Amino acid sequence: MHTEEFPLRIIVMGVSGSGKSTVAEGLSRALGLRMKDGDELHLPESVAKMSAGIALQDADRWPWLERIANYLANTEQNLGHSGAIVACSALKRIYRDRIRQQAGSVVFLFLDGNPDLIKQRMQDRKGHYMQAGLLDSQFHTLEKPSADERDVIALCIDQSVSTLLQNAMAKLSSYQDEIRNRSDDIFSTPSLQKH
């Protein structure tokens, strides 16, 4: 699906418990792209806050978003891959814009789902520092992508992982075709091309 001309820089986004890491890992295997869990790029102080049930503030998130953007922007030079995948909540429009500004062309896969389903998933998972009690603050912070964010693909998580991955692959392929065919659009050239 990806080529040297159209490398894929993918952010799998959504609230905690929506399945970002699972989907990102599946896409990494399917596409042969390097994957990084955004949780790995948090500072120890931020992890300590979340482990204690304290929601992060924007001041905590800006350096984290910059590390994510830098990872995506430098993947080709540092890792020799034609793109990369990061699992990252990217809850607010300004967070997504910060990544766009610093990483270049990206595509966001927004994992959307019922809050009760996500809460149950969080309660069932073991050994993760993000406390289920912080989910309400994540939903409060979440600004669902709007129609003008043309680099966002929404996916409903109310389906099996295999079906979700198949849908993600199909929509990514359609997105790349659309980008190639939209040569006169301001989003065409930068959207998936290497800088």
Name the domain count of the chain: 1
By the 8 A CB rule, do 24 and 12 touch?
A: yes
- Is residue 131 a part of any domain in this protein? yes
Residue 109 pLDDT level (bands cut at 50, 70, 90): very high
| DSSP secondary structure code for residue 187 in this structure | T
More confidently predicted of 189 and 37: 37
- Is residue 57 a part of any domain in this protein? yes
Give yes or no for residue 23 having a pLDDT over 90.
yes
By the 8 A CB rule, do 31 and 6 touch?
A: no
Residue 186 pLDDT level (bands cut at 50, 70, 90): very low
Residue 38 pLDDT level (bands cut at 50, 70, 90): confident
- Is residue 43 a part of any domain in this protein? yes
- Is residue 2 a part of any domain in this protein? no
Distance CA 142, CA 171 (A): 23
- Is residue 19 a part of any domain in this protein? yes
Residue 191 pLDDT level (bands cut at 50, 70, 90): very low
pLDDT of residue 165: 96
Three-state secondary-structure class, residue 35 = strand
Segments forming the whole domain that contains residue 183: 8-192
Question: Residue 110 belongs to a domain with what CATH number?
Answer: 3.40.50.300
pLDDT of residue 14: 95
Give yes or no for residue 130 having a pLDDT over 70.
no
State pLDDT tens for residues 110-124.
999 888 888 877 776
Q: pTM of this prediction?
A: 0.80
Distance CA 104, CA 192 (A): 9
pLDDT of residue 47: 76
